[in-house]
Amino acid sequence: MWKGRFSQDTDEAVQKFTQSLDMDWRMALADIRGSIAHVRMLGHTGLLSEEEASVIEKNLSLIADEIRNGTLIPKVSLEDVHMNIESRLIELCGSTGAKLHMGRSRNDQANTTVRLYLRKELLDIWDGMDDLISSLLKKAEQHAETVVPGYTHLQQAQPISMGQFWMAHAHAFLRDAKRLFDAYDAVDESPLGCGALAGSTLPLDREFTCRDLGFSSVTGNSMDTVAHRDHFMDVLYFAALFGGHVSRLSEDLIIYFSTEFGWVKLPDSFCTGSSIMPQKKNPDVLEILRGKSGQLNGALMDLLTMTKGIPLTYNRDLQDDKRSLLRTLECLHGIFSVLPALIREVEIDEEAANRGFRDGLILATDVAEYLVLQGVPFRNAHEKVGRIVRYCIDNDKPLTSLTLDEWQDNIPEVKGDLIPLLSPRRSMERRNTLGGTSPSQVRMQIENTSVRLKMFDKEAKEFRKSIPEGY
């Protein structure tokens, strides 16, 4: 490739150290599709004759078939996917094939290849996200009327609908979906024609290749285009936040599945046992999912650190950018292969969950808000209810077992209409503020989220229409 300048062959160890085939060969079909667009543009502008452009495109398609069939074996000596394909093209059509690379650098070529590859990957990831959120919506509908304890500081706080719990996680993943489509927008730009860094003296038509590849626009500055990896960072940032949300959901279910809580039931098919303890049923799938956030965070930090302080424009440090990216994509596909199915199989033991309500103290806020409606300033109400909580603890009495006389001895403002309100179900049902935990509010959230999902899915379908076939 550069034998005109160099008098020595590349050292074999250097070849192995600098090759990128272990990362980029999987993008070979995307690379060929980018080359086909480039060739069509060269023919369109007259830089290639009609016959030359036809011969090159025909042989690129032949190479694509060889890759699909596994008959083209890449050579490490050719360093990367781009040179392996170009070398094979020259084998097939001689000096005509050697014209492929005019007006193009591997800097804009590789950038294009990864963007083409990423667009399809991100839409596949959307399918997984859609499946996950849809599974949560079905669970939320199933458990809109199911009462369980809600927690702050891992201490019982207020009664909630289990549907509200599922929707809390659905909303987090819905934000992730928005970030996923934002990342897609960042990827959906055409770098072809930027060259090594400064564009080209040849009459290239960047808009032509942009249209042929279905990109939404061309990039705006040739130096910035080959230097930055912001679009990678956008994908990795989405993945890191998504991983954190997966980790939180997994941790919640692990806690509620534990013997001490015991109100989440996991199917045997998503658990494992112990090599020594016969009684064990371990939530290994959830634990592995919880751990994936470390991998996803690490990939983002890897690329953030790699790109810090690199001067304009392209530097070889960036060769490894794909390693973090591909590892992240693989991790995401793994998560989506198990998490939606696991959610669909989770069962809730409401009776076991309600055992935690026995002392009734989870209803203390309801009493304070009742007093507010009786005209008691909230801070005074808070103090009064705090004293009744202490009374219950000192006398080993559930809050719900107190007689009206006991209430009025401690809080004179209490009337008989308080007693019927003191049940976890009534508490949950009465929390009817917008976005609250009442069944009607949970169902409204389900409906609104379903609408958002349909909008995202429509957007994904439109993106798919713009992606050309052939890779």
Backbone angles phi, psi at 101, to 5 degrees: -85, 5
Are residues 68 and 216 located together in one domain of the fold? no
State the helix-helix crossing angle for 81-97 and 106-142, rounded to 10 degrees.
Answer: 130
Q: What percent of the chain has pLDDT over 90?
A: 94
The better pLDDT of the pair 13, 170 is held by: 170
Residues 6+ apart with CB under 8 A from 180: 122, 125, 126, 129, 238, 242
- Whether residue 313 is preceded by a cis peptide bond, meaning omega within 30 degrees of 0, is yes
Q: Give 41-79 pLDDT, tens digit per residue.
A: 999 999 999 999 999 999 999 999 999 999 999 999 999
Are residues 456 and 417 located together in one domain of the fold? no
Q: Which CATH number characterizes residue 28's domain?
A: 1.10.275.10
CA–CA separation, 374 vs 280, rounded Å?
52
Q: Provide the 3-class DSSP secondary structure of residue 152.
A: strand
Are residues 227 and 265 located together in one domain of the fold? yes
- Residue 201 CB burial class (10 angstroms; 0-12, 13-18, ≥19): exposed
Q: Provide the 3-class DSSP secondary structure of residue 157.
A: strand
Q: How many helices (H) and strands (E) does the chain have?
A: 18, 6
Q: Which of 282, 252, 257, 256 is nearest to 270 (CA)?
A: 282
Q: Give 307-360 pLDDT, tens digit per residue.
A: 999 999 999 999 899 999 999 999 999 999 999 999 999 999 999 999 989 999
Q: Which residue range forms the structural domain that includes residue 414?
A: 361-421
Q: What is the pLDDT of residue 356?
A: 86
Q: Is the pLDDT of residue 165 over 80?
A: yes
Q: Which helix (H) or strand (E) holds 344?
A: helix 321-345
Q: What percent of the chain has pLDDT over 70?
A: 99
Are residues 74 and 157 located together in one domain of the fold? no
Q: Which CATH number characterizes residue 199's domain?
A: 1.20.200.10
Are residues 392 and 334 located together in one domain of the fold? no
Are residues 249 and 369 located together in one domain of the fold? no
Residues 6+ apart with CB under 8 A from 84: 21, 25, 28, 72, 74, 75, 78
pLDDT band at 13 (very low <50, low <70, confident <90, very high): confident
Where do runs of H (alpha helix) occur along 220-283? 222-227, 230-257
Are residues 256 and 367 located together in one domain of the fold? no
Q: Is the pLDDT of residue 20 over 60?
A: yes
CA pseudo-torsion sign 348, 354, 355, 356: positive
Is residue 435 domain-resident? no
Give residue for tokens 């207020």: 158
What does pTM read for this prediction?
Answer: 0.95
Residue 411, amino acid: I
Q: Provide the 3-class DSSP secondary structure of residue 247.
A: helix
Q: Are 213 and 33 in contact (CB under 8 A)?
A: yes
pLDDT band at 1 (very low <50, low <70, confident <90, very high): low
Q: Are 246 and 237 in contact (CB under 8 A)?
A: no
Q: Give 131-157 pLDDT, tens digit per residue.
A: 999 999 999 999 999 999 999 999 999
Q: Is the pLDDT of residue 281 over 70?
A: yes
Q: Which helix (H) or strand (E) holds 81?
A: helix 81-97
Is residue 4 domain-resident? no
Are residues 280 and 305 located together in one domain of the fold? yes
Q: Which of 402, 397, 431 is nearest to 419 (CA)?
A: 402
Q: What is the pLDDT of residue 4?
A: 67
Is residue 5 domain-resident? no
Q: Which of 374, 370, 401 is nearest to 385 (CA)?
A: 370
Is residue 65 domain-resident? yes
Q: Which two tokens stand for residue 471?
A: 């890779």
Are residues 333 and 225 located together in one domain of the fold? yes
95 catalytic? Reply is no
Is residue 437 domain-resident? no
Q: Give 78-129 pLDDT, tens digit per residue.
A: 999 999 999 999 999 999 999 999 999 999 999 999 999 999 999 999 999 9
Backbone angles phi, psi at 378, to 5 degrees: -60, -45
Q: Provide the 3-class DSSP secondary structure of residue 218.
A: strand
User: Per DSSP, what are the bridge partners of residue 217?
Assistant: 189
Q: What is the pLDDT of residue 12?
A: 78
Is residue 6 domain-resident? no
pLDDT band at 3 (very low <50, low <70, confident <90, very high): low
Are residues 142 and 288 located together in one domain of the fold? yes
Q: Which CATH number characterizes residue 413's domain?
A: 1.10.40.30
CA–CA separation, 460 vs 128, rounded Å?
12
Q: What is the pLDDT of residue 18?
A: 75
- Mean per-residue pLDDT, 274-303: 97
The better pLDDT of the pair 358, 10 is held by: 358
Q: What is the pLDDT of residue 382?
A: 98
Are residues 89 and 132 located together in one domain of the fold? no
Q: Is the pLDDT of residue 2 over 70?
A: no
Domain count, the chain: 3
Residue of 7, 95, 153, 269 with catalytic role: 153
The better pLDDT of the pair 50, 2 is held by: 50
Q: What is the pLDDT of residue 387?
A: 97
CA–CA separation, 104 vs 193, rounded Å?
6
CA–CA separation, 285 vs 201, rounded Å?
56
CA–CA separation, 464 vs 320, rounded Å?
28
274 catalytic? Reply is yes
Q: Give 197-254 pLDDT, tens digit per residue.
A: 999 999 999 999 999 999 999 999 999 999 999 999 999 999 999 999 999 999 999 9
- Mean per-residue pLDDT, 177-182: 99
Residue of 274, 401, 440, 466 with catalytic role: 274
User: Per DSSP, what are the bridge partners of residue 149?
Assistant: 159
Q: Which two tokens stand for residue 267?
A: 């199917």
Are residues 196 and 325 located together in one domain of the fold? yes
Q: Which of 79, 71, 63 is nearest to 20 (CA)?
A: 79
Residues 6+ apart with CB under 8 A from 196: 105, 107, 108, 226, 313, 314
User: Per DSSP, what are the bridge partners of residue 150?
Assistant: 158
